[in-house]
Amino acid sequence: MKALKTTALAALVAALALVLAAPALAAEKPAFKQFPYTVDAAFVKNVVDGKVKAVLIDSRPYRKKYLKGHVPGAISLPTSKFAKLAPAKLPGDKNALLVFYCGGLKCALSHKAAFKAQKIGYKNIVVFATGYPSWKKAYGPGPAGAEQTAKQPFKQFPYIVEAAFVKDVIDGKKLGLVIDARPYKKKFVKGHIPGAISLPTSKFNKMKGLLPADQDAMLVFYCGGLKCALSHKAAFKAQKMGYKNVKVYAKGYPNWKKTYGAGVAVAAAAPKKAAAPKKTVKKSLKAGKEEGSIDLALFKQIVKERPDSVYMVDVRDPHEFKAGHFKGAVNIPTDDLEKKLAKLPTSKPIVFVCSTGARSGESFYMMQDQRPELKEVYYLDAEVTFNKDGSYKITPPK
């Protein structure tokens, strides 16, 4: 029996799985060329549970199959798009264990993908031959929808990468530039992926000179997670400029922290000596924990009881606003906000809102830069989900 080049645990479990899977494969006698190394559902469960380190890969069509249900944690890499997507989806380490699966014993996609991966140099490859039907039977249906994903109300960039891919870029295994699309003061300074540069989407046009001259260079944008549109918007802007190798780490900084720990924070500048004391300005609204934010409980009360007491500016894109918004809010997308700041009314406190706190926070600092005389300006530092029935859910930021 051929041995897998992986950890002792993975090799042992894989060897057992080969024995278990062989009779089933022999009985089916599929008419396509089968990959020689196969594993069973129990092995895949160990991968899902983190007992075996491997990359799970769903070889089925993305919309027709993956979105309707997949093994938890599996990435989508349809075999029909293998050549186009593999460089972005697969890890840089050619010794990493790859586990391909598709629709069961009669499905050739996972076997074809395994051979393709082997051809480009990957050394530790197995096929979960009984595939997703076997997983459902043993452990129940997997998550539906894209984990990156598909139901967000903003236009998503099509080329998505995972944390392992970004780690390869940071470690120099892949050549590229990692770009933080979040607000500099509110987010980047407090923590970011090591080696990333700050290029806030709202200042993209002014700061695009930070991008490399070589338009074949790989650019990887990220922001505040799956509900954050900033990285997608920046990626489209870069693509429009002519950059050909652009990707988005859609799960963003929250996923990076969960996977690899907190990133790098920028040290605060030392206070100037003999600085004049700042004049305390009494504000009418209670502030939140973060600079410029509004108290979450107070905001909920305002929205519910007296939305007309503030001038609420929703800085999401128009189609996001149309899908659901707070009563009384006006829509001024971040792309248009800078040229409209001078005309914002000052008769009421101004509160910027979005879906994650990223764009609203960026708007707050934009206002600080351009109209520092205004003191009654806040932003909502929270995650907001709007439902079709007009209801909404506000939760603290992750």
pLDDT, tens digit, for every residue of 173-232?
888 999 999 988 888 988 999 999 999 998 898 899 999 999 989 999 999 988 888 999
- Model confidence at 10: pLDDT above 70: no
User: Predicted confidence band at 22 (pLDDT cuts at 50, 70, 90)?
Assistant: very low
- Domain for residue 281, yes or no? no
Domain assignment present for 287: no
Contact 296, 336 (CB under 8 A): no
Mean pLDDT of 38-59: 92
Query: Higher model confidence: residue 211 or residue 8?
Result: 211
Report the CATH number that the domain containing residue 308 is assigned in CATH. 3.40.250.10
pLDDT at residue 277 in the model: 47
pLDDT above 70 (res 150) = no
Same domain, 311 and 256: no
223 plus 335 within the same structural domain:
no
The pLDDT score that the predictor gives to residue 197 is 94
Same domain assignment for residues 12 and 85: yes
**Domain match, 172 and 100 both:** no
Higher-pLDDT residue of 227, 283? 227
Residue whose tokens read 């003191």: 375
> Are 133 and 19 found together in one domain?
yes
- Cβ neighbours, 10 Å, residue 291: 14
108 & 168 share domain: no
Residue-wise pLDDT tens digits, 340-390: 888 888 889 999 999 888 889 888 888 887 888 888 999 999 999 988 888
Residue 145 lies in a domain: no
Average pLDDT, the chain: 84
pLDDT digits (tens, 9 = 90+) for 300-321: 999 999 999 999 999 998 988 9
Cα separation, 40 vs 119, whole angstroms: 23
- Looking at the predicted structure, is the pLDDT value of residue 274 above 80? no
Domain count, the chain: 3
pTM greater than 0.85: no
4-36 burial: b if 16+ Cβ within 10 Å, else e: bebeeebbebbbebbebbeeebeeeeeeeebbe
* Whether the predicted pLDDT of 26 surpasses 70: no
Residue of 106, 110, 113, 119 lying closest to 24 (CA atoms): 106
Higher-pLDDT residue of 373, 297: 297
Q: Are residue 117 and residue 174 in the same domain, yes or no?
A: no
Predicted pLDDT of residue 173: 87
Cα angle value 76/78/79 (rounded, 5°): 140
Residues 108 and 190 grouped into a single domain: no
Residues 67 and 183 grouped into a single domain: no
The range of the structural domain enclosing residue 361 comes to 296-395
Domain for residue 286, yes or no? no
Confidence of residue 125 (pLDDT cuts 50, 70, 90): very high
- Please say if the pLDDT value at position 62 is more than 70: yes
Q: Do the domain assignments include residue 315?
A: yes
Q: So what's the pLDDT on residue 235?
A: 93
Same domain, 301 and 367: yes
Burial of 274 (0-12, 13-18, 19+ CB in 10 A): exposed
Residue 271 maps to a domain:
no
In a domain, 155, yes or no: no
- Whether 112 is covered by a domain: the verdict is yes
66 with 27, same domain: the answer is: yes
Whether residues 133 and 183 fall in one domain: no
Choose one of 139, 173, 189: the last residue of a domain: 139
Domain boundary among 139, 155, 171: 139
3-state SS, the chain, equals: CCCCCCCHHHHHHHHHHHHHHHHHHHHHCCCCCCCCCEECHHHHHHHHCCCCCCEEEECCCCCCCHHHCCCCCCEECCHHHHHHHHHHHCCCCCCCEEEEECCCCCCCHHHHHHHHHHHCCCCEEEEECCHHHHHHHHHCCCCCCCCCCCCCCCCCCCCECCHHHHHHHHCCCCCCEEEECCCCCCCHHHCECCCCEECCHHHHHHHHHHCCCCCCCEEEEECCCCCCCHHHHHHHHHHHHCCCEEEEECCHHHHHHHHHCCCECCCCCCCCCCCCCCCCCCCCCCECCCCCEECHHHHHHHHHHCHHHCEEEECCCHHHHHHCCCCCCEECCHHHHHHHHHHCCCCCCEEEECCCCHHHHHHHHHHHHHCCCCCCEEECCCEEEECCCCCEEEECCC
